[in-house]
């Protein structure tokens, strides 16, 4: 199958830092490629090179003739005064879309990306909706291939599900940088890891993320066996060299050169196999108090809108509480209430005596971008104290994958992942009874995420976690509170119970909005003669049809999230296809219902 984009032996460096060299990767029709790798391995740069926004230092980049490429950057910049429709229409015009089809194309794209009001201004949109808008601008271009850099970063859990469904059903190929393992499992058919420990700088596998893990384990096992065999051979050659052979013959000289080459190869292989992960390990205070934080009947209102209403929380040692809800539902607000940085309108917050709280702020306000990394990690001197032991600042920084030369770089110049690691490194020096973590997983690479997970699981105190990373939530948390953003909430033992609760809430809302509307329209409609007999019959049965299709939609939604088929690519694809069809049916039925109601009321 011919490649849409093919990179052959490309290399890229910034100053003295080499990102990758002799890297080869291609994207063909129907490919859905997830790119992972440690922070700083060059993932974003690779995507920019493929999109034509960056030039490789060496190698060849080939793109198919007349190819249409949509590039979604990690950070998108929009005019805050423009409307959503104007912005998407501008992207369509820039891509050369036909003027006569522009309006319906823009409307369809906005519908697919969840925008109900195209005339809303961009300024007030959250980070998650900015990301949806960027994807809408890419979709409307009708690309042959879409290249996306960390689109999952600002999406809430609902947005993650939406993106996985959208990207698994696209008619075009795509390549995406992402650290979200749930997304990689549910939307990709290839996974590639950029990492200098591979001979060619990359390891590519076919299948989902779980397939990638299996194939990588097999590869690493083979590499370890090869290194052991090479080590034995090098040992024999070293013994031969120690006997002092003289290079008097061509054969002896060749063997001496070969022995030195084998030593270099073993050193290179050993270096590549040695994987250094961030050493994250939060320190508990050892407090035995059972009730660390108690919140009773908590309520918080912004303006006239109740965001949090009548919530009770008791945090005890060993408890790992996950907060669930879409962007703006009040998760960060509840964390701030528990931390006592925000005062509730109703209810009380009680902290145990001399409680030690470590708070990770998603806005990273603890980080002063004008300070150097050294000043961020330590207030003064050259040593930090960790677990009652002195450790040099260089060793402490290395524990979090920082190089000594980075200590004098201002933190504002660090990458997002490096900034997150810097904050965690500083917070880890504080003994804690309670961890309050607001989106600590943003920008972290997968190896660091795995270490962070283990640290959270081993922490002996209480923890409250907000994250869009569904995989982390399901692995770490023992209990959940779900918020709907309108004051309602629920308590759940498992993540799946929260999804069932959301579905029940949606169905209840649908029933409540439909019945009064039917009653009011039955009083207001001037005459059923505005509808034909066939239309009136269709209208009378519309509610039953919608309820049936919504039930079907929920069934397929649960099917796509069933762990039993998560690794069965064909079954999963079919489930997503059926889910998409059910969504289309619901959309069509609601549109038709609105059309018939408008006709009844004489507006057509």
Q: What is the pLDDT of residue 246?
A: 55
For 103-122, letters b (16+ CB in 10 Å) and e give eebbeebbebbbbeebeeeb
Quick one: tokens of 107?
């409307």
Does domain 498-600 sit in CATH 1.10.287.380? Answer: yes
Label residue 458 exposed, middle or buried (CB < 10 Å: 0-12, 13-18, 19+). exposed
Sequence ranges of the domains in the chain? 1-67+144-207, 79-140, 222-273, 293-368+426-493, 498-600
pTM for the model: 0.65
Which of 206, 141, 146 has the alpha carbon at shortest distance from 173?
Answer: 146
CB atoms under 10 Å from CB of 226, counted, come to 12
Task: Tell me the mean pLDDT per 10 residues along the chain, length 604.
Answer: 88 85 93 90 93 94 94 89 92 81 85 87 85 92 94 80 87 93 90 88 92 87 70 62 56 57 57 59 71 92 82 92 87 92 92 91 81 88 83 88 88 84 86 90 83 86 91 90 86 85 73 51 44 73 75 72 59 68 72 69 50
Q: Which CATH number is 293-368+426-493's, of 3.40.50.300, 3.60.15.10, 3.40.50.150, 3.40.50.970?
A: 3.40.50.300
Q: What is the pLDDT of residue 418?
A: 85
Q: What is the pLDDT of residue 521?
A: 41
- Residues 6+ away with beta carbon under 8 Å from 277: 401, 447, 448, 450, 451
Bridge partners for 174 per DSSP: 32, 146
Domains 1-67+144-207 and 293-368+426-493 share a fold: yes
Cα Rg of the chain (Å, integer)? 28
Rounded CA-CA distance 341/356 in Å is 14
CATH superfamily of 1-67+144-207: P-loop containing nucleotide triphosphate hydrolases (3.40.50.300)
- Residues 6+ away with beta carbon under 8 Å from 416: 442, 443
φ, ψ for residue 330 (rounded to 5)? Answer: 110, 10
Question: First CA to last CA across the chain, in angstroms?
Answer: 51
Quick one: tokens of 568?
């069965």
Helix orientation angle between 250-273 and 209-242, rounded to the nearest 10 degrees: 140
CB atoms under 10 Å from CB of 229, counted, come to 10
Alpha-helix runs per DSSP H in 360-415:
373-377, 393-399
Rounded CA-CA distance 474/497 in Å is 12
């Amino acid at each position: 199958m011919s490649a849409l984009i093919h990179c052959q032996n490309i290399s890229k460096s910034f100053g003295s830092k080499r990102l990758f060299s002799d890297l080869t990767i291609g994207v063909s029709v129907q490919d859905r490629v997830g790119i992972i790798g440690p922070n700083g391995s060059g993932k974003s740069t690779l995507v920019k090179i493929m999109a034509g926004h960056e030039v490789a230092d060496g190698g060849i980049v080939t793109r198919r003739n007349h190819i249409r490429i949509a590039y979604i950057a990690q950070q998108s910049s929009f005019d805050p005064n423009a409307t959503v429709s104007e912005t998407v229409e501008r992207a369509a015009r820039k891509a050369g879309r036909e003027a006569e089809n522009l309006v319906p194309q823009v409307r369809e794209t906005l519908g697919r990306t969840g925008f109900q009001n195209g005339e809303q201004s961009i300024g007030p949109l959250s980070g998650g909706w900015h990301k949806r808008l960027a994807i809408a601008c890419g979709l409307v271009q009708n690309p042959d291939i879409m290249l996306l850099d960390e689109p999952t970063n600002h999406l809430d859990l609902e947005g993650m599900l939406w993106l996985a469904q959208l990207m698994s059903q696209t008619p075009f190929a795509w390549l995406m940088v992402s650290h979200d393992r749930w997304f990689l499992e549910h939307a990709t058919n290839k996974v590639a890891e950029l990492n200098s420990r591979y001979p060619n700088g990359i390891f590519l596998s076919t299948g989902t993320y779980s397939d990638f893990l299996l194939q990588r384990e097999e590869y690493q096992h083979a590499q370890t066996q090869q290194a052991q065999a090479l080590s034995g051979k090098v040992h024999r050659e070293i013994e031969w060299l120690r006997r002092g052979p003289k290079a008097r013959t061509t054969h002896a000289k060749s063997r001496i050169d070969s022995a030195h080459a084998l030593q270099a190869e073993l050193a290179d292989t050993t270096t590549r196999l040695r994987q250094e992960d961030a050493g994250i390990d939060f320190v508990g205070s050892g407090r035995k108090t059972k009730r660390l934080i108690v919140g009773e009947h908590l309520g918080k209102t912004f303006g006239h809108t109740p965001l949090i209403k009548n919530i009770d929380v008791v945090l005890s040692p060993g408890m790992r509480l996950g907060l669930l809800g879409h962007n703006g539902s009040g998760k960060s607000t509840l964390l701030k209430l528990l931390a006592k940085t925000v005062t509730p309108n109703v209810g009380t917050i009680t902290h145990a005596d001399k409680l030690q709280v470590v708070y990770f702020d998603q806005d990273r306000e603890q980080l002063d971008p004008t300070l150097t990394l050294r000043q961020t990690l330590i207030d003064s001197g050259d040593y930090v104290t960790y677990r009652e032991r002195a450790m040099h600042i260089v060793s402490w920084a290395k524990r979090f994958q920082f190089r000594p030369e980075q200590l004098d770089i201002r933190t504002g110049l660090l990458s997002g992942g490096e900034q997150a690691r810097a904050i965690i490194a500083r917070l880890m020096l504080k003994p804690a009874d309670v961890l309050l973590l607001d989106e600590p997983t943003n920008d972290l690479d997968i190896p660091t995420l795995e270490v962070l997970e283990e640290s959270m699981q081993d922490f002996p105190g209480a923890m409250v976690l907000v994250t869009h990373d569904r995989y982390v939530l399901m692995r770490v948390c023992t209990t959940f509170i779900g918020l709907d953003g309108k004051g309602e909430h629920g308590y759940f033992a498992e993540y799946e119970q929260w999804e069932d609760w959301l579905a029940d809430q949606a169905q209840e809302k649908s029933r409540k909005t439909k019945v009064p509307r039917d009653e009011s329209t039955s009083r207001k409609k001037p005459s059923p003669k505005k509808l034909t007999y066939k239309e009136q019959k269709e209208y009378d049965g519309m509610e039953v049809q919608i309820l049936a299709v919504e039930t079907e939609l929920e069934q397929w939604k649960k099917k796509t999230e069933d762990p039993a088929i998560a690794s069965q690519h064909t079954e999963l694809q079919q489930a997503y296809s059926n889910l998409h069809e059910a969504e289309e049916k619901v959309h069509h039925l609601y549109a038709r219902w609105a059309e018939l109601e408008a006709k009844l009321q004489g507006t057509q």
